[in-house]
Structure 1
């Protein structure tokens, strides 16, 4: 997307990519296969493999799958229903910041800790990986490669950033730099349910929580984008600033009921490992498998499950 195109939109929506792909991922485009311990060397190898792969490219909106993505890819339409012109961007651990129309090869990389294809295991490492992505040309020549450069190209536009907690942390430094390019702080709105936002970004984050699932429906994994879809249609034909979105959220909160409390059976580490080994496939993620476990009436804390999942997959 060129600079002129970026400036044509009054709103830019940035969404988390999806781990699920609708096209087969080649083995050499799985980050777990790169054994370099030094982050810079891993990144250079990753980009070389992305750039030389013979895998067929597909536009980002057609690459990803799952409930989250089925909603995310329609956010531009929801904005239009609210009388707004919007461009959608994807925050990808494999490619960095790309427009939703960017040609991408199927890949496996994530900012989520504990996953076999994770880019790193600390906040610092995932932020450094995003910095490297921002300095790479990427798949679309001339397209902004960081959130800060997107804001610099379109200083009068509003940005609605809809990211999971881990992806928000990976982009935290970039978002802090983005804020410096805005004419008004109200131009930036962040939706990120399910984690604690970095301190420097908290003023931009809407006070949304899991209770809103009772209003917008769907699973918790798609709550961020479902909230964005609903808010994009509120107060039509008004500037899409943080106050307008906050007012819309207040209305949704009035409608929210109590989420059901589930009584689940705790499990030992050995029981959890056995559960994972019985069901794991090459495409499994710890988040999807944790949902399976909990839907079976069993209990495990998310971080503990992620650690056990990673250790179990490595030892297979």
Structure 2
């Protein structure tokens, strides 16, 4: 059957707004283990569940779902899983309510203020029921394609190390650091022009490109790695922007103005409009200011 587990990260955008008590910011100030236990209790009693493949929204998620088609064309039987700070590791066919929780630091709904805390939180999610273990999934299939941002890879570091120890044929797209036993393809912004889309969806687009270059039915071969490396070297394009740095107040004013003019616009679209005006703002900073601005409403 040549099953290939594919792991991607969740997205901020949901098909429906979370209930107030399913925002991580509303958890009591306590030790990580205690907060995780309270979070699990809230999830168990929450109504309004839907399939995860229908819960998440946005370009990044559409591209993540498209990885299954790319994997099928490459000779695999894909099984898509989502790594979520609110739910743990689950198949996209499983059910869950809308929620707001993230590993991103300084975010209002962050579940931890350090990689140590987010690692503990991730471990606790496995004990709440419903969450699966990455090493066991990969070992059973003998292979895995894992697509993680740096922040999420840091939270899942112990799982990734345990995965490497299983000997499963594994490719990590993005991630935070190299791990012996895992083939890693670091995030490379120079490929954005060739792959298209935004930097937010760069990792999943890179994963699709890896599947296009791999030997049919085999996740990693020396020949495929050489093909991908040659393509990446040729396709790389360093982008330079002459944009004007601005203070937080200017960014906040822009967000307030544009959300009034274009209600329902995504944060990604607003950042694109902001940069189109020749203004500079790093993606994480814009996201923090967007959350801060919308939280005051």
TM-score normalised to structure 1 length: 0.81
Q: 2:47 aligns with which of 22, 43, 54?
A: 54
Contact 1:163 1:224 in 2 (8 A): yes
Kindly tell me: are residues 242 and 224 of structure 1, through their superposed partners in 2, closer, same or farther at Cα, counting changes over 3 Å?
farther
- Per-residue CA deviations over 1:188-230 (Å, capped at 9, x if unaligned) read 11111xxx72354696311451121222211111111112122
1:16 aligns with 2:1: no
Alpha-carbon contact 2:51-2:94 (below 8 Å) kept: yes
Deviation at 1:134, TM superposition (A): 1.9
**Secondary structure of 1:233's match?**
helix
Query: Which of the numbers 189, 194, 217 marks the counterpart of 2:171?
Result: 189
Which runs of no fewer than 5 residues in structure 2 stay unpaired?
none
| Structure 2 match to 1:4 | none
The residue number in structure 2 matching 1:265 is: 244
Partner residue in 1 for 2:97: 105
Secondary structure of 2:159's aligned partner: helix
Offset, 1:119:
1.1
Question: Structure 1 residue 217 and structure 2 residue 199: aligned?
Answer: no
Match status 1:92 vs 2:84: yes
1:53-88 per-position Cα deviation (integer Å, ceiling 9, x unaligned): 122x21111111111111111212211111222211
| Unaligned runs of at least 5 residues, structure 1 | 1-7, 139-143
Q: Deviations over 1:208-258 (max 9, x none)?
A: 511212222111111111121222133452411264652342243144152
Structure 2 residue corresponding to 1:131, chosen from 106, 123, 128: 123
Q: Say if 1:314 and 1:202 are closer, same or farther in 2 by CA, change over 3 A.
A: farther
SS of structure 2 residue aligned to 1:65: coil
Query: 1:173 and 2:158 equivalent?
Result: yes
Count of equivalent residues: 295
Match of 1:145 among 108, 132, 150: 132
Q: Does the C-alpha gap of structure 1 residues 304 and 225 become closer, same or farther in structure 2, counting only changes over 3 Å?
A: closer
Deviation at 1:170, TM superposition (A): 1.1
* Shift in Å, 1:107: 1.3
Q: Which residue of 2 aligns with 1:81?
A: 73
Cα distance in structure 2, aligned partners of 1:90 and 1:238: 23
CA 1:242 to 1:236, structure 2 compared with 1: closer, same or farther past 3 Å?
closer
C-alpha contact (below 8 Å) 1:112/1:118 kept by paired residues? yes
| Segment of structure 1 superposing worse, 301-310 or 219-228 | 301-310
TM-score (normalised: structure 2): 0.86
Q: What's the RMSD between the two structures over aligned residues?
A: 2.9
The separation in 1 between residues aligned to 2:107 and 2:224, in whole angstroms, is 33
